[in-house]
Every structure is written in C-alpha cells, then in structure tokens.
Structure 1
Amino acid sequence: MLKHVSKCLLGFTVALFAVLSFVANTSAAGTITGNNSFANAYSVGYWKYSNIDTTILPEDEEAAYFKFTLNAGEKVYVKSSYQSQYQGMKIELFDSSQQSIIGQGATVVNPTSLTPFIFAKADATSAQTVYVKVSRGSYTGDMYFTISILERIKSGSGTFNFSGTATNPGNAGLNLNGVDSTVISMDLRNNTTIPRYALVKSITTSSTQTPSQGNVLHKISSEQTNVWYTAIVSNATNGQYTISLQDQLQVAQKWNFKYNAKATAASKMTNVRATVNYEYDVTDQFQY
C-alpha cells in the first residue's frame, strides 16, 4: 500500500514539475531582451505588419533598441507602455544613420489610466529605416514594457448646419455677375465632435431655395482666412468647392455662407448645411 502511494506521489511530482517547467518556458517565450545597442536592435520589419512581444530591459542595461521600415509619405507614432515607477523613461526615434533624432517623447499620456504610455512621432519623406531607443530613466530594476507602431493620420466626416436664412433681393439690374445674398454663419470652434486640429479635405454645401432658380452659385468662407470660395459645381441646392488639404483650413472655425443668383426675382435659402471630409493627427488628441 505504502509502495503504491509512494509511486503515485512520485508520478504526481514528476508531472507537476513538467507542468511548472512548461509554464516557465512558455512565459519566457515570446519576450525580447538583449537588444541593448543599435548594432543588435530588434528588427520589426515593415511597421504595418509589426507584432512586437514584451521587452525585458535588465537592470544592468540602460536602453532597448528596435528598428522598422517606413515607406515614403507615411506618418506614424511609436508608443511604449509605461508604469508609474518608470520615472524618466524616454523614447527616441533616429534616422537610418543612427545619428539624427527625428522624434522623441517622455511625456506620459493618460497618466491616471490603466494604460499610460509615452510616444514619439516619425514622418517619412522617403523610404527609410527608423531606429527606436527606449531609455530606462531613473528606475533601477528589470523593466517590462511593450512598444507598438501605429498610423497617425486618420479621416472623418461630419455634416453641420448654418444658422438662419440667406436672402437674395434678386438681380433687378441684370448684373452679368449676379447678386450676392445676405451672409449666414455657423460656429464650429467649440464643436466637440470635431478632432483637434482637423483639416478640411473637401467640402460641399446643400440647401433649400425658395423659389427654385437656375444660375445659382454657392459661396463659402472660413474666418481663418476670410477667403471666399465659389463652388465649381453648383445649382440651386448644392455646391462643391476646390478646397483641399493644401489650403490648410481647420474644420473647427467660424464659417460663412452666401449664394449668388442671376434671376430677377427675390429668393431665400434655408436648411443650409456643409458636409466636411477631414483629416486629423491621432496624436493631437492625446490627453496629458
């Protein structure tokens, strides 16, 4: 009986040891360490396909290094997870020469949340390799963190209403250039649905004109520049403009609208709205 129990205990011990060994090996697998210089930087490959494991920075090493590739025109940010005890932790991005810093950051984003992080930005004017250096700061023990590489530029859209009614007295004088209506406005400066520093990619206006007329042009202006844009494709109810990212117009501004009519009869426009397609930088939305 005792012999049987001993064999059972021995078998259980061996099995338990095997399980513990498996768990230990599994937890150690998939981590990154030893990448403590530019020469042995951990290679991520092309950033869009990156899936980077947890990095262990031993207490006797000052920094961990990574490298990844960008194509021309791509804009990304590299973020590293952060813990409150990692005071002074810093992330730096270097160009392919490993000499010039192209982005750096030590400010903690969302410091009171469960997932605080630090980040740095990179813009690629040409295809290039970017090196990442994550420095420990004042913390003296082993450090555990993850890094990820994410796209910065996103797109969105929204439809916004102008206040009031635009009225046109009619082109009684038969002016070949037509007659402009009164101006109505919309103020988007405090609109919380618009991402911070979002820029206009394209804009169209729509409205209801009473009575409906031909030879009508929509016009729009941002108080950022006070330049009036005339719709290139327009009718009594719709207008499409040449405004693009090159104009660098911020969405969150005060906008003005009027319309030009050549008909002799008076008219008015109601339900005037603008549909705006915009682009914004994700990092401009971060809370510190």
Structure 2
Amino acid sequence: MKKSLFLFVFSVFLMAIPAFSASANVYEDEYEPNNSFAEAYDLGLWKYKTISATIHSESDKDYYKFYATKGEQLAIHLKNIPANTDYDLYLFKDSYGYPAVGSSERTGNQNEIIRLDVPETGRYIAVVTSKDGSYDGWGFYRLEFIDRMKSGAYTANLSPSSISSPGQGVVSPVAAVNLANVSAIPEGATVKSVSAEGTISPSLGHTYREVLNKEEGVWHTSVSGGTLFPDLKPELALPVKTTWNVRYYSLAWSSSTWRSPQLKINYQYDSTYGW
C-alpha cells in the first residue's frame, strides 16, 4: 500500500515538472493582461511613471493607458530592450477608432522615443510590441514617462564693452557675442525671454535698445527706457546658440554711451534632445 501511494505521489510530481519548465521560459509581468486597447493597464496621470515589464510571447503586446492635459510636453521612452529582440513603440488617442498619434520604429534593440505636445486633454494609450515576433520572456524592458521640457538662464557679455550714440535717433554701432559653442547652454535651447543689461549714461528719455538673433535676422526693440523685448516670445522658438547683436538709439539731442552691454537670456530646452 505504501509503495502504491509513493508511486502515485511521484507520478503527480513528474506531471508537474513540464508545466513548471514551460513557465520558467516566460514571465507574465504585473501589468498583464494588457494585450488590447480594451485591456490597457491604467496608469492614471502620466507624470514620472516608470514601468518594468516583458514581452513574453510572439503575440504579446503591452497596452498602457494614461491621462494627459492639453499643453503638457512629455516624452515616452522605451529602453533596456533585450538583446536579439526588436521592440517598437506606438501612441494612440483613447477615443473612437483609436487614432494614431505617434510611433517610434528603430531597428533592433535601439531605444525608442515618442515626444508629445499634448493637443487635447484626455486619455492616451502607449503600446509596446515586437516588430518581428522576437521576444525575451525574462528580459525586462523599461518604459519611462518624462516631463521633458526644462528651463535655464545664461548671461552673455558683448564686445566691444561700450558703444555710443550721438542722439537724435542715430543708431549706435553694434556689440556682439557668439554663443554657438558655449557648452553651458544645452543643445536645442530656445528663447523664452531676453533682456539687454548694462548702463546707458547719461540717462536720457526716449532711449531704445535693440537685439538681433542671427538665425532670425530681425531687430527687436525694447520699450522706451526698458531692457525687455516684449515681442521676443517663446512661440518664435529662436535658438540660443547663435550670434547675438545689440545696438541702441536715443531721440534726445545729446550723446550717450552704453557700457558693459549684456544679454540675459532665459531659455527652455528638451531634456531628451538627441535621444
């Protein structure tokens, strides 16, 4: 009787081994099941979310739903893609027909990225899928939601260190600075606002400072006696890393000098630039 019971238990153990071995080749992560739009895993608000998950079969696709507000600027970054696989990244609006919003389809296991300037408030769905059916059931990819736009400021001294105007509306010579190779300014940085600093003396009424961004080629004028340029707006997306010129003029009937001219540039940049 004991022998029969032992054989029965042993046979049950053997039957369990293949099932264990098969499951050992894959790992269904905590976000499963999320293999369709209807099953998309709900992340809630997108900010600073990070996902670690797997593609565990040829047919596995991972859908992630998130909420974003109009005007937000984010990036969805797929990284740590396992070797010998080829995963792609797609983005859809969670609305009727699931219209496509963006995609990233680089070859092999290169990182994928989609940058989104949110066009309207609502829910969106990011999808990770294998391009060719390749997968690694134990190879975890990483999906990051990044608040990609950052801000900074830079103060530039211009040359020559003083420029003069005889007054009566006559424009001064130009002072300039080339910021193209300044490593302290991030690549791709664009202007948010500019002020032209330094002292113009004697202090005269109806004095106007002007600034020119070489890439745009347009002179912008300050308000009378001011240092800011109200028409230099972020929407222009002017590059910071270029040559800048300044000059000034006064409607007064006497001469003046602008000493130690400086530009204080507030800028924004995409922290994922070049990814």
Q: Which category of TM-score, normalised to the shorter sequence, fits these structures?
A: 0.7 to 0.9
Question: Is 1:253 aligned to residue 252 of structure 2?
Answer: no
Q: Percent identity?
A: 23
Match of 1:122, as an amino acid? L
**In 2, distance between residues paired with 1:219 and 1:54?**
52
Contact 1:168 1:261 in 2 (8 A): no
Matches for 1:186-225 after TM superposition, within 5 Å:
186-209=177-200, 211-215=201-205, 216-225=207-216
* Cα distance per residue 1:215-270 (max 9 Å; x no partner): 232111112222211111525xxx11111113332211211111113444444323
Structure 1 gap ranges (5+): 1-27
Contact 1:80 1:148 in 2 (8 A): yes
Match of 1:196, as an amino acid? E
Contact 1:64 1:135 in 2 (8 A): yes
Contact 2:163 2:175 in 1 (8 A): no
Matches for 1:132-211 after TM superposition, within 5 Å:
132-138=126-132, 139-142=134-137, 143-171=139-167, 175=168, 178-209=169-200, 211=201
**In 1, distance between residues paired with 2:49 and 2:70?**
21
Match of 1:47, as an amino acid? W
**In 2, distance between residues paired with 1:259 and 1:51?**
49
SS at match of 1:180: coil
Contact 1:94 1:130 in 2 (8 A): yes
**In 2, distance between residues paired with 1:58 and 1:87?**
12
Q: Which residue of 2 aligns with 1:18?
A: none
- So what's the TM-score if we normalise by structure 2? 0.78
* Cα distance per residue 1:118-166 (max 9 Å; x no partner): 2212222211211111012343431422312111222211111112144
Q: How far off its partner does 1:199 sit?
A: 1.7
Match of 1:77, as an amino acid? A
Structure 1 residues 151 and 84, CA gap change in structure 2 (3 angstroms): same
Structure 2 gap ranges (5+): 1-26
SS at match of 1:121: strand
Contact 1:33 1:55 in 2 (8 A): no
* Cα distance per residue 1:7-36 (max 9 Å; x no partner): xxxxxxxxxxxxxxxxxxxxx998323212
- So what's the TM-score if we normalise by structure 1? 0.75
Matches for 1:1-288 after TM superposition, within 5 Å:
31-48=30-47, 51-83=49-81, 85-97=83-95, 99-107=98-106, 117-138=111-132, 139-142=134-137, 143-171=139-167, 175=168, 178-209=169-200, 211-215=201-205, 216-232=207-223, 234=225, 239-242=227-230, 243-286=232-275
RMSD of aligned alpha carbons: 2.6
**In 1, distance between residues paired with 2:244 and 2:104?**
35
Contact 2:28 2:56 in 1 (8 A): no
SS at match of 2:181: coil
Contact 1:105 1:118 in 2 (8 A): yes
Match of 2:204, as an amino acid? G
Structure 1 residues 282 and 53, CA gap change in structure 2 (3 angstroms): closer
Contact 2:50 2:145 in 1 (8 A): no
